[in-house]
Structure 1
Amino acid sequence: MKLGALLVLCAAVSSGATESETPAAAPCAFALVPPTDFVSLTKESGSIHNRSLSPWRWRSSKVRNRIPATIWEAECTSSVCSSPFPGHQGGQYLNSVPVYQTVLVLTRQERGSCYVASYKSVAVGCTCVLARYN
Structure 2
Amino acid sequence: MFFKNKAFRCLLFSCVVLLVLLTAEARKKKKQCGKPKKNLLKNAVMLIVDSPVNGFSRNSTNSLHGDVLERAVAPWKWRRNHDVTRIPATIFEAECSTTYCTIIKGQQDMNYNTKVIKQEMMVLQLDLQLSKPGCKSVYRLVRMTFAVGCFCVHARVI
TM range (shorter): 0.7 to 0.9
Matched residue of 1:127: which SS? strand
How far apart are the structure 2 equivalents of 1:41 and 1:130? 34
Question: Is 1:132 the counterpart of 2:150 in the alignment?
Answer: no
Counterparts of 1:25-40 in structure 2 under 5 Å?
26=36, 29-38=44-53, 40=55
Higher normalized helix content (fraction of residues): 2
Counterparts of 1:63-78 in structure 2 under 5 Å?
63-78=83-98
Identity over aligned pairs, percent: 31
Matched residue of 1:32: which SS? coil
User: Is 1:55–1:78's contact at 8 Å kept on the other side of the alignment?
Assistant: yes
User: Is 1:59–1:73's contact at 8 Å kept on the other side of the alignment?
Assistant: yes
Question: Is 1:79 the counterpart of 2:99 in the alignment?
Answer: yes
**What is the number of residues matched between the two proteins?**
112
How well do the aligned residues superpose, as a CA RMSD in angstroms?
2.4
Give me the TM-score of the superposition, normalised by structure 1.
Answer: 0.72
Matched residue of 1:81: which SS? strand
Q: Note the residue ranges of structure 2 that are not aligned, 5 or more in a row.
A: 1-30
Counterparts of 1:36-51 in structure 2 under 5 Å?
36-38=51-53, 40=55, 43=61, 44-51=64-71
Cα distance change on mapping 1:100 and 1:41 into 2, 3 Å: farther
Aligned residue among 119, 129, 144 for 1:101: 119
Q: Note the residue ranges of structure 1 that are not aligned, 5 or more in a row.
A: 1-20
Report the AA paired with residue 33 of structure 1.
I
1:9-35 alpha-carbon deviations (Å, 9 max, x no partner): xxxxxxxxxxxx965362752211201
